[in-house]
Structure 1
Amino acid sequence: MIDVSTKQSRARFYTSNEWRRLRQSILERDHFECQWCKAEGRVTTDAVLEVDHIKELAQYPELSMEPSNLRTLCKDCHNKRHNRMNYRGVAKKRKWQDEWWG
């Protein structure tokens, strides 16, 4: 089982040749299309594509290289999935209410 408990160990995992090969095969399997956008009838052709672990890597490290636990998502959908604030359609949260340059 892989170690993903530290930032360094996750970086080693994501830069490994084994992961890079698997990532490429998942992108090809999914026809280089975001699976969430595709399910909604949208085609994403100019988006940055990422490979997402359906069951989180931190909780299920044994599924880290399991193709059935991986899917292609565009960056916007991947950010939305992980509740990151920079995804399309959602305003970036401001630190101060009077910030006008955000």
Structure 2
Amino acid sequence: MKEYAKKFYKSKAWYRCRQSYITSQHGLCERCKGVGKIVHHKTYITPQNINNPAITLSHSNLELLCQDCHNKEHHASDAVVSSGLMFDSNGDLIRSE
């Protein structure tokens, strides 16, 4: 988790939003219909928009993903990630071996 986002991701507002979004999607990954695990922000959170609830807390900017679909999302848009690496549930880059 990025340092600037720690306070947000530990907030009651995010917890409530995250839980309500998971419930609204019946706990299923929106891409493969597997078990959803990560509530993903379609517009990524940045230091510039982290205080904008239309970005951070709006269901219209969220997507429930399983770990594999979340990893594919970040792999597809991040050419720095290479084989043998993946993102964990906190969004941190780790070795998949």
Report the alpha carbon displacement of residue 19 of structure 1 after superposing the two structures with TM: 0.4
Report which of the two has the higher share of strand.
2
Structure 1 stretches of 4+ moved >4 Å: none
User: How many residues were matched structurally?
Assistant: 77
Q: In structure 1, what is the Cα distance between the partners aligned to 2:84 and 2:3? A: 28
Are 2:62 and 1:74 equivalent residues in the alignment?
A: no
Distance in structure 1 (CA, Å) of the matches to 2:62 and 2:31: 13
CA deviation digits over 1:38-80, x for unaligned, max 9?
3xxxxx24xx601000111116432111111011001111111
Gaps of 5+ in 1: 1-5, 39-43, 85-89, 94-101
Let me know the Cα RMSD of the aligned residues: 2.5
In our comparison, the structure showing a higher alpha carbon Rg is 1
Q: Deviations over 1:67-96 (max 9, x none)?
A: 110110011111110118xxxxx9516xxx
1:54-93 alignment runs, 5 A limit? 54-58=42-46, 60-61=49-50, 62=52, 63-83=55-75, 91-92=83-84
Give the TM-score, by structure 1 length: 0.64
The TM-score with structure 2 as length reference comes to 0.67
Give the unaligned 5+ runs of structure 2: 77-81, 86-96
- Seq. identity, %: 35
Distance 1:9 1:91 in 2: 28
SS of 1:23 mapped into structure 2: helix
